Each structure stands twice: as structure tokens, then as C-alpha cells.
Chain A
């Protein structure tokens, strides 16, 4: 029995499976506690919130895999939301695709700045992105001139976007934005599992020196990770604009913390080199399910959110350090090497992808 488990699962996957288990337990628990919990409304509220965070978390995962951080994502989301919102308000004729590309492009430039400073400037990522967190927000404040983007100035197609359905099963609406987020999670999971670029992210995060010695263009790869993270944050900014409509200069402030929380709770190692997109998605799902349910159950205010997030991050990091390392030792000691890492997560992705459809 134990041998079979060891042969087919790696410790990281056990962690993800336990997260799935925890989410199910949470759902069942609150199902018994809150009347009318299993409804389309709960489903909608959780999935649409997760959708935006998940897109940012995918980008953040790319960066954290390389043993770096991006603390500026909240400011990038806020800036693109405001910037694209202003452009659309000034000119309602801008095509939807052009608006999305504009958001992604602005995000890419901001990610590029982060990436160049981190990889070619050799400035620690925490310093760079703590700095750009402030700089991008300052740019937004100056650009805005203390005005806000309001819902009534935006084109109709944008306002309809959040309630656009992909399909409907029973009372459950699958929103288009949720579909986009899921698709991105799956695509990037495939990228980090199968493409050389993805494998190199893991290699750099596991041992930057070794990766450099092995001849990987580490600087270029890390920079690319930042650019991708910026692009995804830009897209999230567009989704943020669509969902909320009213954008002020403090839009998405602190979102970097939610994204990092999701990633870390989802089992992505803060020291780089291990973790998956599916994990990050599960982390986001876990946090938001808990958040939304607790607010309804205890009638506690949203002011509990941050305290809860902090606790979850600490718990996740502590479990990783204590339990996962023991599991790894257990696996290593039994001499049973799990199947090559390139193979295993892929199988899981396909299963998950099939499950989502």
C-alpha cells in the first residue's frame, strides 16, 4: 500500500491532494452550517473572485519558481485597470481586443522594467519590486490627477463582460472570465511542465549557480518570467476594470499579498524550484472559500481578511518546512525514486484539465 503510494505520488502532489481534500471538507462543513450555502450565488461569488487572483497568481508563480518575488503586481493591476479604463472612457470605440492588448502591453512594459533590474542589474527582487510597487502606484496617482474612472463612462460591452456566461450547468453559471482564468492556469501548467523554458524556471529556482554553470541563459529566463508576470497582471487589471467598473487610485492595492498568499498556500516553495500552477489555483480557491464562508458564517466583518491571510501563509510555510521535508526524506530513504518529474505533473494536468471541462 505505502509502496504503491510512494511509487505513484510525489510529496508535492500529496500536498496538493490534501489541499483539494481540505477545500472539500471546508465546503461540506459550511454546507451544514449555512443555510442555502450550496447555491449558484456562492459558487459565482467565489469563482469570480478567484478568477482575477488566479491570473495574478499564475504570473507570481512563474517568478517565485525562479527564487524571486514580484511585490509590484498589485500596482501593475491597479495601473492597467485605471489606464485602460481612462482610454475606454475617452473613446468608447476602442475595440475589445485592442483594449485587452493595451492592458497586456502596459503590464509587459512594467514587468520588463522589473525583470531587467532583477536579472541584468543584479538587484534583489524584493528590493526592485518593493521599489516599483511604490513607483507604479505613484505613476498612477500622477496620471489620474485624483480623478476616478466611473462605470457610466465605460462602453457597454465591458460592463456586460463580467456576467457573460461560458455555459451553465444546473444553477451554476460558468462565467467567461472564470473560463479564461482556468485556461491560463492549464496553459501555463503545460508550459512549466513540458517546455524547456518551464523546466529551466525550476532549474534556476532549485540552484541558480548550477543553472548558470549548466549554460542556461538564466538572466534572460528570469527576465522573461517577469515580463510574463507583468502581462498576466495587466490582463488581471483588465478583468478588474471589467468587474468593478469604478476604479480609483487605490485600485488593487494589496493584491500582491493575496496573490503571494495563494501561491504559498498552494505549495509553491518560497525558495523557488518547486510548485505548480494547479497548486496556486487551489491555494487561491482555498483562501477565498474560507474567506467568503467565514464572513457569512460568523457574521464577521471583512476586517478579518488580512489576519486570516497572514495566518494561512504562516501555516503553509511552516507545513512545507516541517512536513514536506519529512515526506521527502521518507521517499528518499525508501530508495524508490518517483517517476521523473517531467512526466508526473503532466499526467495530473491532463486529468485536471479533463475534470474542468
Chain B
């Protein structure tokens, strides 16, 4: 028991220091960017910057739940693409836009239920199912749009995506704020949130403790796809035109945001605070790279590097910690004996 507590508190400590590290890097990046460009810290610039990534950030909220739960959803970017393409397709076919939006959201729920069915009911690995989804849903989007680019949305729709709605904030940012509050309350302060962590820590233990594992996973995957669909709609509104390749590769950014935030890929640990910090860091880093004329493709490469480092560095930290502990324990022999006695 004592061991569990010890490892738990060590984990918490590590997390705290990880978030501290993120904050430190964030400050360095922001200061550097502000020096590079005088308008950098202006509200407009910051909102604009946020707006460029807001769809991915919204999906990252749902992805945090999925990864904490010990699963992964690789299909989100394709679901975003499918949503925007389906909307454009339905609108092109003559459906009024509000009806098309509702229909697309309904399809998003169905897609999530499909993913959830294979993962929670049939019991297939989420990695394989959502990899199939990554390819398949993108394929459906391509069938609908082929190699065209469809725009011609009504003016109110484009304005909703591009113009500020309340103060400096466009609709997407407001939706993000609402979802953020909901996500924090649900994940950090509700019973459902505890279930998500417990399942991520140990699925079997959760099941024997009476947690309805299947239902939780089902809800998470439906939520993930629905939110990705919503994000796809917002993306269509912001871009004003969609293609078969819309949102392609976004899963890299989204998963990086979550993992860099200190959420363990093995599930069971991580907080939305960490994810929030990593989102800010990625945004400012990308913006900083744009300021010094680094192309977006290279930026993606840097994000890929960050993704790897976000798991590699904690591993190294853990190694160093355990080596340090071993050396300390190996020192005075008596302490070792006492420790074991207490532990057992």
C-alpha cells in the first residue's frame, strides 16, 4: 500500500515538475517572440494565433479524455475532414445549410458509435480500429468531394467562422471556452472523470470495482467523434472552402498537444492544466517559427520532434530518478532494511 502511495506521489511530483518545465519554456518562447515582433503580444495577434489552431485545440480536449482512458483515437482528423466535406456536399446538393449542419453532426455521432462499437463491444484494439477509421473516413470524404474545392457557403456561415462574435472572440473560441470549462469539471471534478482515470490505470481493477468500462469507453468515443465533427464544421466556416484533404495530418498536432502536456500514453495520468500549457507552448512556438520565416512543413517536423521528446524526456527523468534512488539506498545499508520492513 505504502509503495502505491510512494509511486503515486512520485508521479504527482514528476507531473508538477513537467508542468513547471512547460511553463518555463513557454515564458522563454513568448519573451523571444515579443522581442522579435513588437505587435506579438497584442490581443488581436494572440486571438488570431489561437484562431488558426482552435479546431485542433477543441479536439485535443476530447483526445485528453481518450488518452487518459488508455486508448487512442487516430481517426479524429479524418472525421474533421469528413464533416467539412459532408457539409459542403450536402449544401451543394441543395440542402439548406442549417439542415446540413444538423445532418453532419448526426453522422458524427454515428461515426463515433461505430468506433465505440468495435472498441468497447467487440473489444478490438482502438489503435487498429481508429487507424482503419483514419483511412476509411478520409476515403468517404474523398468520394464526396473528389478533387474539387467546394465553397459558396452562405455569407452568415463564413462570417461566423471568420469574424469576432463577442469582443475579440469568434464563435470557435467561445465554443472552446465553454468546452474547456465542461472538460475540466467532468474530468477533474466528477465521478465520470474518476472512472476515466481508473480505467486508464487498470482496466481490470476498474471492471471488478463495478465501473461500467464499456459504457465509459463508448461515451468517450462518441464524444470524441462528435467534437471532431463540430471542429470540422468550424474549420469549414473559417476556411470558407473545403477539399478532400482538409484537416489532413491534424492528428499529429492534436496528439502532440495532449502528450506534451504530460498525459501518459499508457493512460491513467495527466491533467488538463498540462494540456493547456502545452497547447499555448505549441501555438507560440509555431508562431515564433513563422516570425523567423520557417515554413509550415518544417514546423510540422519540429512538432514531430516535440512529440517524441515529450515521451523521451520523462523516460530519461525516470531513469535518472531511479538510479539516484538506488544509489542513495545502496549507501547506508540500514536504511534499506528499514524501508523494506515498512513497505511489507
A314/B142 in contact, CB under 8 A: no
Complex interface: chain A residues within 8 A of B300 (CB): 134, 137-138
Roughly how many angstroms separate A122 CA and B316 CA in the complex, as a whole number? Answer: 9
A123/B127 in contact, CB under 8 A: no
B125/A318 in contact, CB under 8 A: no
Complex interface: chain A residues within 8 A of B259 (CB): 127
Roughly how many angstroms separate A137 CA and B136 CA in the complex, as a whole number? Answer: 23
Taking CB atoms and an 8 Å cut-off, the chain B residues in 253-303 that contact chain A are 255, 259, 265-266, 295, 297-298, 300-303
Whether a CB of chain A sits under 8 angstroms from the CB of B312 is yes
Of B89-97, B116-124, B170-178, the one touching chain A: B116-124
**Chain A 239-270 near chain B by CB (<8 Å), digits 1 or 0:** 00000000000000000010011001000001
A131/B308 in contact, CB under 8 A: yes
Instruction: Name the contact of A142 in the complex, choosing from B118, B265, B298, B305 (C-beta under 8 A).
Output: B298
Whether a CB of chain A sits under 8 angstroms from the CB of B135 is yes
Q: Considering the complex, give the chain B residue whose CB is closest to the CB of A72.
A: B304
Of A9-17, A103-111, A229-237, A300-308, the one touching chain B: A300-308
A310/B122 in contact, CB under 8 A: no
Roughly how many angstroms separate A318 CA and B315 CA in the complex, as a whole number? Answer: 34
Complex interface: chain B residues within 8 A of A133 (CB): 252, 304
Interface of A is mostly: helix
A123/B315 in contact, CB under 8 A: yes
Roughly how many angstroms separate A124 CA and B259 CA in the complex, as a whole number? Answer: 12
Whether a CB of chain A sits under 8 angstroms from the CB of B56 is no
Roughly how many angstroms separate A137 CA and B139 CA in the complex, as a whole number? Answer: 22
B137/A310 in contact, CB under 8 A: yes
Q: Considering the complex, give the chain A residue whose CB is closest to the CB of B307.
A: A131
**Chain A 269-300 near chain B by CB (<8 Å), digits 1 or 0:** 01100000000000000000000000000000
Whether a CB of chain A sits under 8 angstroms from the CB of B205 is no
Complex interface: chain B residues within 8 A of A322 (CB): 122
A314/B132 in contact, CB under 8 A: yes
The answer to whether A318 and B136 touch (CB under 8 A), given A141-B295, A141-B298, is no
Whether a CB of chain A sits under 8 angstroms from the CB of B146 is yes
Roughly how many angstroms separate A310 CA and B128 CA in the complex, as a whole number? Answer: 10
Whether a CB of chain B sits under 8 angstroms from the CB of A311 is yes
Taking CB atoms and an 8 Å cut-off, the chain A residues in 115-138 that contact chain B are 117, 121-124, 126-128, 130-135, 137-138
Roughly how many angstroms separate A261 CA and B135 CA in the complex, as a whole number? Answer: 10
Complex interface: chain B residues within 8 A of A257 (CB): 131, 134-135
Q: Considering the complex, give the chain B residue whose CB is closest to the CB of A321.
A: B124
B297/A138 in contact, CB under 8 A: yes
Whether a CB of chain B sits under 8 angstroms from the CB of A313 is yes
B136/A138 in contact, CB under 8 A: no
Whether a CB of chain A sits under 8 angstroms from the CB of B72 is yes
How many A residues are at the interface, by size bracket? 35 or more
Whether a CB of chain A sits under 8 angstroms from the CB of B311 is yes
B132/A310 in contact, CB under 8 A: yes
Shortest Cβ gap from A127 to chain B (Å)? 5
Roughly how many angstroms separate A130 CA and B301 CA in the complex, as a whole number? Answer: 10
B303/A307 in contact, CB under 8 A: no
Whether a CB of chain A sits under 8 angstroms from the CB of B240 is no
Whether a CB of chain B sits under 8 angstroms from the CB of A139 is yes
B312/A117 in contact, CB under 8 A: yes
Complex interface: chain B residues within 8 A of A126 (CB): 72, 127, 265
A130/B255 in contact, CB under 8 A: yes
Complex interface: chain A residues within 8 A of B147 (CB): 303
Instruction: Name the contact of A318 in the complex, choosing from B122, B135, B143, B244 (C-beta under 8 A).
Output: B122
Complex interface: chain B residues within 8 A of A89 (CB): none
Roughly how many angstroms separate A217 CA and B273 CA in the complex, as a whole number? Answer: 39
Instruction: Name the contact of B139 in the complex, choosing from A117, A264, A310 (C-beta under 8 A).
Output: A310
Roughly how many angstroms separate A271 CA and B129 CA in the complex, as a whole number? Answer: 13
A309/B303 in contact, CB under 8 A: no
Shortest Cβ gap from A143 to chain B (Å)? 11
Q: Considering the complex, give the chain A residue whose CB is closest to the CB of B135.
A: A310
Whether a CB of chain A sits under 8 angstroms from the CB of B133 is yes
- What would be 22 A-B contacts, judged by CB atoms less than 8 Å apart? A121-B312, A121-B315, A124-B266, A127-B259, A130-B251, A130-B307, A131-B304, A134-B300, A138-B300, A141-B298, A142-B295, A261-B135, A270-B127, A301-B146, A303-B244, A304-B139, A304-B143, A310-B138, A311-B132, A313-B136, A314-B129, A318-B124
Which 5 pairs of residues, A with B, have the shortest CB-CB distance? A310-B136, A138-B301, A307-B139, A306-B139, A134-B304
